[in-house]
Amino acid sequence: MTAYRLGQGGRIDRSRTLGFTFDGTALSGHPGDTLASALLANNRLLVGRSFKYHRPRGVVAAGAAEPNALVTVGSAGRREPNSRATMVELHDGLRAESQNRWPSLNWDVGALNGFLSPFLSAGFYYKTFMWPASFWEKLYEPFIRRAAGLGRASYHADPDRYEKVWAHCDLLVVGAGPTGLAAALTAGRAGAEVILADEASEPGGSLLFDSASVDGQPAGQFATQILAELATLPNVRLMTRTTVFGWFDDMVFGAAERVSRHVSQPLPGQPQERLWRIVAKRAILATGAEQRPLVFPGNDRPGVMLADAAVSYARRFGVGVGRKVAVFANSDAGARTAASLQAAGINVVALVDARVGHPAAVTVPRIFSGGVVSGTSGSRALGAITVRHAGGEDRFEADALAMAGGYSPRIHLACHRGGKPRWSDAHQAFLAPEGLAGLTLAGSAAGARTLGECLSQGAAEAAAVVADLGHTGTAAQFGAVDGDVPEGSVRALWHVPGGKAFVDFQNDVTVKDLGLAVREGFSDVELAKRYTTTGMATDQGKLSNVNAIGILAEARGVSPAEVGTTTFRPFYTPVSFGALTGSSTGHHFQPVRRSPLHGWAEKHNAVFVETGLWVRSSWFPRQGETHWRQSVDREVKTVREAAGLCDVSTLGKIEIFGADAAEFLNRVYCNAFAKLPVGKARYGLMLREDGMIYDDGTTSRLDENHFFMTTTTALAAGVMNHLEFCAQTLWPDLDVRMASSTDQWAQMAIAGPLSRAILQVIVDEDLSDENVPFLAAKTVSLFGGQLEGRLYRISFSGELAYELGVPAGFGEAVADALMEAGEPHGICAYGAEALGVLRIEKGHVTHAEINGTVTAEDLGFGRMVSQKKVDFIGKHMLEREGLVDAERPRLVGVKPLNPEQSFRTGAHILAKGAEATLENDQGYVTSSAFSPHVGSTIGLALVTRGPDRHGEEVVIWNALAGETVPGVLCDPNFVDPSNEKLHA
C-alpha cells in the first residue's frame, strides 16, 4: 500500500502546514486533516498493534467507529491514551504515539502471540488459568494484567479545567449530516429552539465527501449554504465536536464537547472538555449509518479499509489510500466507490462484487461478478489480494482494498432506554425500536438509502415535531439530487470461508472464535460476546457486532432476528473522566460548610477537622503544645475547673410552629413532650419505626406554639426530612410547620463552674439558678439591649453549662466578647476533641453509640420511654422479643486495670479467661478517650448485660492490632456521678 496526498481536492487548507510527530518521527499535514488522514498522507500505514495477537493494523474507518488506529496523544497531564486517530484533529506540535507494542511498532515482541494463536482461542483465559487455584493471585492475574490493556493512563495531574453545563431546547437534532441539516433548517425556520449537535469538527456528515449534487450544487457546497442560513437563525445552536453519548430518562441527553482537544492547550478561560446535559422536548436522531466491513481471510491487513473511508480520505482530506486500489462489496456501493475514487484521480484496479448479475456502471480493469476476496498478502501492509470466483482464483497486486459490507443504522441512542432493535431483512440491518416517545429517527439512521431520502425525511420529521410543539412551519424543500447512487440489493455475506478472518479487529475475534463459542454452548449473543470479547472495549463493536450476529445466526441456522443484539448502553463513544467529573475536583470536590464561628476559631489557632461537609474546630493548640493530646487535656481540665467556649453551631436546629406542634413532638419522640412548659428544654429520643433510636437532642418550648429542636450534626437533614414526612403523610391533620434554622444561629456552649459569671457579663438579665434553672430555655437581651439571643441551660459536659444562640453574623463578635469577659476567669476555647472527652467522661452518647442497632433501654434510657402515650413512632416494634432480650449488649463504662495501658475504639470485650475468638465476643468499645480526670483511657462500650456487670474484670481485645488489655467494666458516668456540678 502506498498512500499519498492527492495533487488537489479535499477540504484541507493546503496553504498552511502543520508539524506533528508520530512515534518521534517529524511529519506534516494541513489544517482540516485528522491525525489519521495526515498519517495516510505521509504513507504511514501501520498505526497500531492488535490487542491479543499484536498483529499489524492500519486505519479502517474515517470516523468515530475506528477500531484499530488507537494512539496516545499529548504528554504529561494532557496525555490521552486510546485516542482514535480518525477523531484527533491535527494541530501544530501534536505528539502521537502508537500503543500495544514493544520495543517498536515495526518490531513488536508481542507479535509472537500470533504463533501461539492456536492456544489463545476464545475463552482461553477461563480454560488455561484455572489450576492450581493458588497460582491465580500471584502468577496468572499479574501476568494477564500486564499483557492486557491498550493505552496507559498518565500519572500526572490533568492541568486543565472541565465543566458541566445544562441546556434546554424544543428539538435536539443529533448529527449534522444531510438529514440533520434538513431537520434543523425546517425546525429553525419555524421558530423552534433547536440544538444541532455533531461529533465532527466540521458539520456536514456525508455531504463532505458525497459526489452527488443537490439542485446543481456539489454536496459540500450545499452543506455550506444550509449552514450559512442556520447561522442567521438565533434560535438554532450548532454544537460541533460534540458527541451525544446517551439518552436518559425525562428526555435528558448527555453530550461531550471536546472544546480544546484540537489545540495544544485550552485558550484562556476555556475548559478542555464540557459535558452537556441537554433537556429536549423532542429529539431527532440523524446519526446516519455505519458501513460494515466484510469478513474474509486476511481482512485485517493494513490497507484494507471501509469503502466510505477510502472515499472520505480522497474527497474530504485529499488523500489517496493507495496507488492500486481494489474494491470489494456486496451491493452497488462497490461501483459507487470505484466511481468516486476514480473521479478523485485514484487508480482503481479491481471491483469485486459478491453478487451475481449486477453489472457495474464503471470501467475498471478487473470486474468480478459473484466473486469474493479470499486472501490477502503483504508484509505489514497490503501487497496483493486473491479473488475467488466462478472461474477459479485470481491473485493480483493491490495496495489498498475498499470494502463495503452493507450499512448498520446508528441506532444506539434510541436503544439506551431499554428498547430492543428490530431486524429488517429488507435492510439487512437492525433498525431502532418503534414507539419511542419524544424521539424519532430520520435519514439513514432510519434506513434511508439515498441522499434525497435523507433530506426529505429530515425535513418531514422536523416539520411533524414542530407542528406537534405548536409551531407553524413546513418541511424545507431542496432541489433535485443528482448522482445519488443507492446501494441496490445487498447480498447477505457474513463471512468468506478460508483462513483467519477477523470479525472484531479491536479484540482480535475471528470467525473461528465465534464458531467455537456456539459449539461450546455460548451461542446466546450476550454469552458469545463475553466468551469471545467481540464487541467489547473502546469501539463497543460499532463495526463488528452485526457481522458477529450474522455469523452466530449462520452457525445456529437461524435469522439474525432470532439472535438479536447485545444491550446498547451509554456511552456511545468513550467519555473522559475529566468531563464526567466537571469542576468537582480538588478543593471543589464537594461543598464545604463553614460555621459562623469559623473566623473566631481561626483567630484562636484552631486545628480543623472535616465532619461530613462541615469544617469543625477540633482543638486549639497554644504556644508550647506540640501534641494534640496536650491541647485536648488542657481544654478538658479548663472546662472542668474554670470555663470553656465551644462552637456547637453545626448541630441541627429546627423551628417547629403550629397549634399542634406539642402533639406532633409527642408522637415523634418516645418520651413525653405534650406538657413541656414554655421556657423549658427537654432531652428527647426519637425512634425509628423499628424501635431503634434514630436521633437525640434537646427541644425547647419558646412559646405555646413554637418549639426549637436540636439534632445531631450528622442527622440534621435526615431529621428535617423525617419530620416533614411525618407531618405531610402520617398526620396531615396536625397544624405543624417546620423551618430549618441551623444556619440562622451561631451557637456556643459555655461550660464550666465559672460559666455563669462569664455569661452574666453580656446577658442583661439575672442568671441565678432561681431565674435560669437547669433546663431553662428563653430569649434573652444581650449587651444592654443591643442584641437578642436564645439561652438554654443544657450541658453535654456535665458541668454547669449554657448554650447561647445569636444571629449568625454576630456570632464572632459575641464569642469575642465572651472570651474577653472570661479571660480573668481563665476561659479557653475548646474543640470537638475536648467535647468528646467531656461527654465520654459523663457517659453521654452520640452516634458512636446510637449506631442504628440500639434501643433506648440499651443505652440506659429505658425509663424515658413513655408507657402512658397511646402511640409514638417505634412504640409497637419495641415490644419485639429480640429487643427486650436481657442478653442484649447495653451501655457500660470500661477502663484498663493498669492506668498505664490503653485501648482503642472498636476493641472487643471478652470475659476474663475466655479464649480470644469471635464466638466469645461480648461486645465492643464504641467510644474511647484519655480522661485527664480518671488518669487513664476510658471507654463506653456496648456489652452483653453491661449494666449488671459493673466491677467485673474483662479483657479488651483488639485483634487487628494484636493487643489484649485487662480491663474492668464500670458505671459510664466517670466524673461527678451524682451530677452536683450540673445543678450548681
Partner 1 sequence: MPEFALVSRPALPHSPVGDASRVRIEALPEGHVLHVLAAGGRDITPEQLASLGDGTAHAVRRYAPGQWFVVGNEALGSKEYREKAARLGADAAVSDQSHGRVRVAVSGSGARSLLAKGCAVDFSPSVFAVGATAATLYNHIGIHVTRTAEDGFELLVLRSFAQSLWEDLSVNHGEH
Cα separations in angstroms, 883 against 264, 399, 855: 66, 81, 7
Binding of residue 897 to partner 1 (CB under 8 A): no
CB of 713 to partner 1, least distance (A): 11
Binding of residue 164 to partner 1 (CB under 8 A): yes
**Torsion, Cα of 564, 567, 568, 573 (10° steps):** -110
Candidates 327-335, 432-440, 738-746, 857-865 — which segment interacts with partner 1 by CB under 8 A? Answer: 738-746
Binding of residue 603 to partner 1 (CB under 8 A): no
Binding of residue 17 to partner 1 (CB under 8 A): no
Binding of residue 156 to partner 1 (CB under 8 A): no
Candidates 237-245, 428-436, 781-789, 869-877 — which segment interacts with partner 1 by CB under 8 A? Answer: 781-789
Closest CA to 763 of 727, 804, 798: 804
Cα separations in angstroms, 20 against 31, 89, 94: 12, 11, 5
Among 637, 737, 825, 933, binds partner 1 (CB under 8 A): 737
Query: x/- binding map, residues 108-147, to partner 1, per CB under 8 A?
Result: ----------------------------------------
Candidates 165-173, 403-411, 475-483, 904-912 — which segment interacts with partner 1 by CB under 8 A? Answer: 165-173
Binding of residue 729 to partner 1 (CB under 8 A): no
Most distant CA pair in the chain, distance: 116
Q: Which is nearer to partner 1, 197 or 360 (CB)?
A: 197
Binding of residue 783 to partner 1 (CB under 8 A): yes
Cell of 632: 485536648
Q: Which is nearer to partner 1, 193 or 513 (CB)?
A: 193
Question: Is it true that the peptide bond before 317 is cis, omega within 30 degrees of 0?
Answer: no
Q: Which of residues 189-228 bind partner 1 (CB under 8 A)?
A: 193
CB atoms within 10 A of CB 515: 18
CB of 596 to partner 1, least distance (A): 7
Among 35, 321, 514, 814, binds partner 1 (CB under 8 A): 814
Query: x/- binding map, residues 792-811, to partner 1, per CB under 8 A?
Result: ---------------xxxxx
Unique residue bearing C-alpha cell 434554622:
741
Binding of residue 821 to partner 1 (CB under 8 A): yes
Half-sphere exposure of residue 33, counting CA atoms within 13 Å on the CB side?
A: 28
**Torsion, Cα of 889, 894, 896, 900 (10° steps):** 130
Among 222, 247, 296, 614, binds partner 1 (CB under 8 A): 614
Determine the 3-state secondary structure of 887 from DSSP: coil
The radius of gyration of the chain's CA atoms, rounded to the nearest angstrom, is 38
Cα(818)–Cα(607) distance, integer angstroms? 21
Cell of 348: 482503481
Q: Which is nearer to partner 1, 171 or 319 (CB)?
A: 171
Cα(681)–Cα(433) distance, integer angstroms? 63
Cell of 164: 458541566
Binding of residue 529 to partner 1 (CB under 8 A): no
Binding of residue 972 to partner 1 (CB under 8 A): no
Question: Is it true that the peptide bond before 497 is cis, omega within 30 degrees of 0?
Answer: no
Cell of 6: 492527492
Candidates 120-128, 194-202, 587-595, 860-868 — which segment interacts with partner 1 by CB under 8 A? Answer: 587-595
Closest CA to 368 of 323, 398, 399: 398
Determine the 3-state secondary structure of 980 from DSSP: coil
Among 425, 602, 735, 980, binds partner 1 (CB under 8 A): 735
Q: Are residues 277 and 381 in contact, defined by beta-carbon separation less than 8 angstroms?
A: no
Q: Which is nearer to partner 1, 524 or 788 (CB)?
A: 788
Question: Is it true that the peptide bond before 732 is cis, omega within 30 degrees of 0?
Answer: no
Cα(283)–Cα(76) distance, integer angstroms? 39
CB of 258 to partner 1, least distance (A): 16
Cα(153)–Cα(50) distance, integer angstroms? 18
Binding of residue 584 to partner 1 (CB under 8 A): yes
Binding of residue 277 to partner 1 (CB under 8 A): yes
Candidates 79-87, 269-277, 355-363, 847-855 — which segment interacts with partner 1 by CB under 8 A? Answer: 269-277
Candidates 220-228, 317-325, 592-600, 664-672 — which segment interacts with partner 1 by CB under 8 A? Answer: 592-600
Unique residue bearing C-alpha cell 459555655:
750
CB of 804 to partner 1, least distance (A): 13
Q: Are residues 803 and 748 in contact, defined by beta-carbon separation less than 8 angstroms?
A: yes
CB of 256 to partner 1, least distance (A): 15
CB of 779 to partner 1, least distance (A): 8
Binding of residue 165 to partner 1 (CB under 8 A): yes
Cα(494)–Cα(326) distance, integer angstroms? 20
Sign of CA dihedral 487, 490, 496, 501: positive
Among 103, 118, 234, 269, binds partner 1 (CB under 8 A): 269
CB of 571 to partner 1, least distance (A): 20
Cell of 496: 468468506
Among 118, 166, 426, 557, binds partner 1 (CB under 8 A): 166
Binding of residue 504 to partner 1 (CB under 8 A): no
Binding of residue 253 to partner 1 (CB under 8 A): no
Determine the 3-state secondary structure of 474 from DSSP: coil
Binding of residue 469 to partner 1 (CB under 8 A): no
Binding of residue 829 to partner 1 (CB under 8 A): no
Among 204, 293, 515, 596, binds partner 1 (CB under 8 A): 596
Binding of residue 730 to partner 1 (CB under 8 A): no
CB atoms within 10 A of CB 368: 22
> Of all helices (H) and strands (E), which one includes residue 451?
helix 451-468
Cα separations in angstroms, 225 against 182, 195, 220, 460: 12, 18, 9, 20
CB of 503 to partner 1, least distance (A): 42
Task: Return the amino acid letter for 924.
Answer: Y
Binding of residue 825 to partner 1 (CB under 8 A): no
Separation of CA 325 from chain center: 45
Closest CA to 710 of 695, 729, 697: 697
Cβ neighbours of residue 659 closer than 8 Å, sequence gap 6 or more:
705, 735
Binding of residue 251 to partner 1 (CB under 8 A): no
Binding of residue 248 to partner 1 (CB under 8 A): no
Q: Which is nearer to partner 1, 431 or 780 (CB)?
A: 780
Cα(38)–Cα(317) distance, integer angstroms? 9
Q: Which of residues 638-697 bind partner 1 (CB under 8 A)?
A: 655, 657-660
Binding of residue 174 to partner 1 (CB under 8 A): no
Binding of residue 559 to partner 1 (CB under 8 A): no
Half-sphere exposure of residue 471, counting CA atoms within 13 Å on the CB side?
A: 20
Binding of residue 392 to partner 1 (CB under 8 A): no
CB of 461 to partner 1, least distance (A): 23
Pairing, β 348-353 against β 325-329:
parallel
Candidates 31-39, 263-271, 507-515, 904-912 — which segment interacts with partner 1 by CB under 8 A? Answer: 263-271
Q: Which is nearer to partner 1, 526 or 743 (CB)?
A: 743
Number of residues that bind partner 1 (CB under 8 A): 63
Cα(59)–Cα(39) distance, integer angstroms? 9
Binding of residue 588 to partner 1 (CB under 8 A): yes
> Of all helices (H) and strands (E), which one includes residue 146?
helix 141-147
Q: Which is nearer to partner 1, 241 or 410 (CB)?
A: 241
Among 233, 279, 959, 968, binds partner 1 (CB under 8 A): 279
- Which residues here bind partner 1, judged by CB under 8 A? 161, 163-168, 193, 269-271, 277, 279, 583-584, 587-588, 590-596, 599, 614, 655, 657-660, 705-706, 734-737, 739-745, 761-762, 783-788, 807-814, 817, 820-821
